């Protein structure tokens, strides 16, 4: 009986060690380190969880494996978890109703994770969302070519260099705008009389919709709240 108990104890300790090692690449966010980690890492897939949640326990090994895979691949994205039942100050920064809730944080924006909760799906989704999608136009000829295309939805944003990444990550990777082809003009010599933050939307033969900025201010923080994308752009 003692031998059986001893072996059971060894097995339990071994299991705990393996579980700890499996999650070594998942960052743990607390009230104390939240702001520092968010500032240090521009892209984070965050899991808000509860220790008693069965779904969270099932997700844990998939989440940990994805974290290790991304780390080994040299990804700029980290995976992190936050115990929303204990670290309530940090958790208050995010919208969640149940557990686990996954949010992708990038350049100050938080969007819902919409992929499946498996190792492969997490890696594929994160890789897709971590790549800027806006194409930089560097000449008047390129701008004219995009403007004169007859098919598809095109968006040309006239932004200073410091806003390009925010636009590309903040809007360009949002599923709501996945059907839009995004372009950025950061060379001010190509702006003409346009102000910084001007966004032009093109759709086939319909009139060009021009939205004024400056992009990044609360009144026009994203395309969804600047007129609701009329002319069928949404």
* Whether residue 214 has a cis bond before it, omega within 30° of 0: yes
179 is catalytic: no
Crossing angle for the helix pair 119-129 and 54-72, to the nearest 10 degrees: 60
* Full set of structural domains in the chain with CATH: 2-129 (3.40.30.10), 135-225 (3.40.30.10)
Say which range, 109-123, 145-159, 171-185, 206-220, has the weakest mean pLDDT: 206-220
Pairwise CA distance, residues 153 & 200, whole Å: 11
Pairwise CA distance, residues 175 & 162, whole Å: 23
What's the pLDDT at 233?
Answer: 38
Pairwise CA distance, residues 59 & 1, whole Å: 35
Q: Which helix (H) or strand (E) holds 230?
A: none
Out of 56, 170, 213, 216, pick the active-site residue. Answer: 56
pLDDT, tens only, 64-122: 999 999 999 999 999 999 999 999 999 999 999 999 999 999 876 788 899 999 999 99
225 is catalytic: no
**Distance of alpha carbon 61 from its chain centroid, rounded?**
21
Out of 34, 41, 55, 228, pick the active-site residue. Answer: 55
Out of 34, 41, 53, 108, pick the active-site residue. Answer: 53
- Of 125 and 203, the one with more pLDDT: 125
What's the pLDDT at 190?
Answer: 94
What's the pLDDT at 209?
Answer: 83
Out of 16, 34, 54, 115, pick the active-site residue. Answer: 54
Three-state secondary structure along the chain?
CHHHHHHHHHHHHHHHHHHHHHCCCEEEECCCCHHHHHHHCCEEEEEEECCCCHHHHHHHHHHHHHHHHHHHCCCCEEEEEEECCCCHHHHCCCCCCCCCEEEEEECCEEEECCCCCCHHHHHHHHHHHCCCCCEECCCHHHHHHHHCCCCCEEEEEECCHHHHHHHHHHCCCCHHHCCEEEEEECCHHHCCCCCCCCEEEEECCCCCEEECCCCCCHHHCCHHHCCCCCCCCC
* Whether residue 92 has a cis bond before it, omega within 30° of 0: no
Crossing angle for the helix pair 2-22 and 54-72, to the nearest 10 degrees: 50
Pairing between β-strand 101-106 and β-strand 199-203 as defined by DSSP bridges = unpaired
Average pLDDT (189-207) is 87
Q: Which of 106, 97, 92, 96 is nearest to 31 (CA)?
A: 92
* pLDDT band of 210, cuts 50, 70, 90: confident
Average pLDDT (204-210) is 81
Average pLDDT value for the chain? 80
54 is catalytic: yes
108 is catalytic: no
* pLDDT band of 182, cuts 50, 70, 90: confident
* pLDDT band of 18, cuts 50, 70, 90: very low
């Amino acid at each position: 009986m003692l031998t059986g108990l001893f072996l059971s104890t060894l097995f339990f300790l071994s299991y705990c060690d393996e579980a700890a090692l499996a999650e070594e690449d998942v960052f743990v966010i607390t009230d104390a380190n939240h702001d520092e980690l968010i500032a240090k890492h521009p892209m984070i897939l965050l899991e808000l969880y509860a220790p008693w949640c069965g779904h969270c326990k099932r997700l844990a090994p998939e989440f940990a494996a994805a974290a290790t895979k991304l780390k080994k691949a040299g990804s700029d994205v980290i995976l992190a978890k936050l115990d929303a039942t204990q670290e309530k100050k940090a958790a208050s920064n995010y919208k969640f109703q149940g557990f686990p809730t996954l949010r992708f944080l990038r350049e100050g924006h938080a969007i819902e994770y919409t992929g499946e909760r498996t190792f492969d799906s997490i890696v594929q989704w994160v890789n897709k969302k971590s790549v800027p999608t806006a194409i930089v136009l560097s000449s008047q000829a390129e701008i004219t070519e995009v403007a004169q295309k007859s098919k598809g939805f095109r968006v040309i944003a006239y932004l200073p260099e410091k806003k390009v990444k925010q636009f590309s990550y903040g809007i360009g990777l949002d599923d709501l705008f996945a059907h839009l082809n995004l372009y950025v003009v950061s060379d001010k010599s190509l702006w003409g009389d346009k102000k910084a933050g001007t966004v032009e939307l093109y759709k086939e033969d319909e009139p060009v919709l021009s939205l004024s900025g400056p992009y990044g201010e609360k009144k026009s923080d994203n395309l969804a709240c600047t007129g609701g994308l009329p002319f069928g752009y949404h």
